[in-house]
Amino acid sequence: MVRWIPGNGEEESLLLKSLGLGSVEELFRDIPEKARIRKIGLDPPMSEMQVVREVDRLLAKNRTLEEFDAFLGAGLYDRYTPAVVDGILQRSEFYTSYTPYQAEASQGVLQTLFEFQSLWVELTDMEVANASLYDGATAIGEAMLMARRLSPGHRFLLPSTLFWERRSVLENYAPRTDMEFVEVPCDPKTGRLDLGFIERESRRDCFGVLVEYPDSLGILQQDLPKVKAAIGDRPLIVSADPLALTILEPPGNWGADIVVGEGQGFGVSSSFGGPLLGLIACRHRDARMLPGRIVGATADGAGRRAFTLTLQAREQHIRRSRATSNICTNQTLVSLAFLAYATAMGPKGLAQLASELASRGQELAKALREVPGLKAPLVEAPFLWEFAVGVEGRGTDEFLRSMFGEGVLAGSSLADPRPGARAPRFPGFLTSVGERTDTAAIDRYARAARKVLGSPTSGGAP
């Protein structure tokens, strides 16, 4: 087959003649001269083989988590995925990340999404879930918009400890609205949210309140069951970790109106930061305000069980300008991974994993607490497998870079790296344990930290 390469001189002349132009430059005459880039310094074109070779060279610079002792967290977790999950994902009938538009012809995919929704409902003790959102951060944004549809007001309460990336996403949702963000203060020693502040401010033109479970510092806030009583009929949004919900009381039990989460840790590798999976659930009374689409169970003409898209509150469908969101699809393939992982692990397996990771988190905190120059955890509060660490005597970023040089991905900085960003309320970094975090890895972390901070090495495996 001959390859077609457009843009030879004869074709270009015919094109310009048909347009009544004398040169290609005239196509861009509406662009001001000062805004044009004359030369961008591209290298000469390469053959296909040369391109492949160059791409391979660039890819060889990447390093995988397997090369390090990885203690990263902040919403992306290094967990083992059973082989059966990939086996299911690679079946041809499932191998699509896109939404089936002729949905009723795809009963298998619809059943998968229905069971995925049911799983999130069960974990949260809510009543209705949609077929997924893009990621956990945008799920918080969509929940905020949903709360605005449910309740009057202009002010939205959120934790002052909210991770900067999640706060940034919320700010991106707000510019074309008259929303105002109000940060809920917390105790600098315990990280505990100010319940009195929430109660007072929720009565001042507030349309919703966000809490995290655990929060962005890894803290298990002890007053969350009291928040709903404090805010009355204002919508309460809870951002929850799916794995934590296997051992903690579900938010639906203590008054949550909307529960969102990030599903990456269930069957999806952290990769290079994606793909991710947004989760959202609500009460049945509010189902028509959910963004995206919902799969429902029904019966066909012969009385057999069948599945259908029961609500599609999207701008691409009949709702148009009345759509609840401009989200046009859902994460079908990643939703399937979430479901396959949960099914393979089972309720007891997930709860056992959560308990084991919580124990390893305590082991890591104890080891880092004994390293001079580290404060671990930074905040005196209950946590599971993730917590904040403070670095004394040197910058956090410098410490993390030095640890990287020692083969340890020590954690994720709490500081917003964007120019002009304010300093974090809790300077330090988040560290988290995973299934590969055994005692030997924790010892290597502590030894590397001692070396980087210039303190004598003691204890631990050789």
With beta carbons less than 8 A apart as the criterion, state whether 311 and 288 touch: yes
Q: CA 384, CA 190: separation in Å to the nearest integer?
A: 15
Shared domain check, 389 and 361? yes
With beta carbons less than 8 A apart as the criterion, state whether 356 and 298 touch: no
Residue with tokens 């799920």: 139
In this structure, is residue 240 part of a structural domain?
A: yes
pLDDT score recorded for residue 1 = 42
pLDDT score recorded for residue 459 = 41
What is the domain extent for residue 191?
A: 83-340
pLDDT score recorded for residue 5 = 58
In this structure, is residue 11 part of a structural domain?
A: no
Q: Give φ, ψ of 357 to 5 degrees.
A: -65, -35
With beta carbons less than 8 A apart as the criterion, state whether 396 and 427 touch: yes
Q: CA 440, CA 448: separation in Å to the nearest integer?
A: 12
Domain boundary among 340, 359, 388: 340
pLDDT score recorded for residue 103 = 56
3-class DSSP state of 296: strand
Of 374, 437, 369, 377, nearest in space to 408 by CA: 437
Greatest C-alpha distance within the chain: 81
pLDDT score recorded for residue 108 = 82
Q: Angle at Cα 412 formed by Cα 168 and Cα 395, nearest 5°?
A: 105
Shared domain check, 368 and 250? no
Residue 217 sits in a domain whose CATH number is 3.40.640.10
pLDDT score recorded for residue 9 = 76
Shared domain check, 444 and 296? no
pLDDT averaged per 10 residues in sequence order, the chain, 462 residues: 61 88 87 82 88 95 89 90 92 64 70 95 97 94 94 95 94 85 94 95 96 96 94 97 97 97 92 89 94 89 88 59 69 92 96 97 97 94 96 92 96 92 90 94 97 68 32
pLDDT score recorded for residue 270 = 85
Shared domain check, 267 and 211? yes
3-class DSSP state of 461: coil
Report the 10 Å Cβ neighbour count for 332: 22
Domain boundary among 317, 340, 363: 340
Q: CA 444, CA 437: separation in Å to the nearest integer?
A: 10
Distance set, CA 3 to CA 6, 51, 205, 266, 328 (Å): 10, 17, 63, 43, 35
Helix (H) or strand (E) holding 403: helix 396-405
Say which residues have a Cβ less than 8 Å from residue 168's Cβ, sequence separation at least 6.
416
Half-sphere exposure of 245 (CA within 13 A, CB side): 27
Per the structure, the count of domains in the chain is: 2
Structure tokens at 25: 């430059």
Helix (H) or strand (E) holding 107: helix 107-124
pLDDT score recorded for residue 318 = 55
Shared domain check, 364 and 288? no
Residue 355's identity, in one-letter code, is S
Strand partners, 156: 181, 208
Q: CA 165, CA 143: separation in Å to the nearest integer?
A: 16
Residue 311's identity, in one-letter code, is L
Say which residues have a Cβ less than 8 Å from residue 44's Cβ, sequence separation at least 6.
none
Residue 397 sits in a domain whose CATH number is 3.90.1150.10
Report the 10 Å Cβ neighbour count for 190: 14
Shared domain check, 158 and 229? yes
3-class DSSP state of 192: coil
Helix (H) or strand (E) holding 195: helix 195-201
Domain boundary among 340, 367, 397: 340
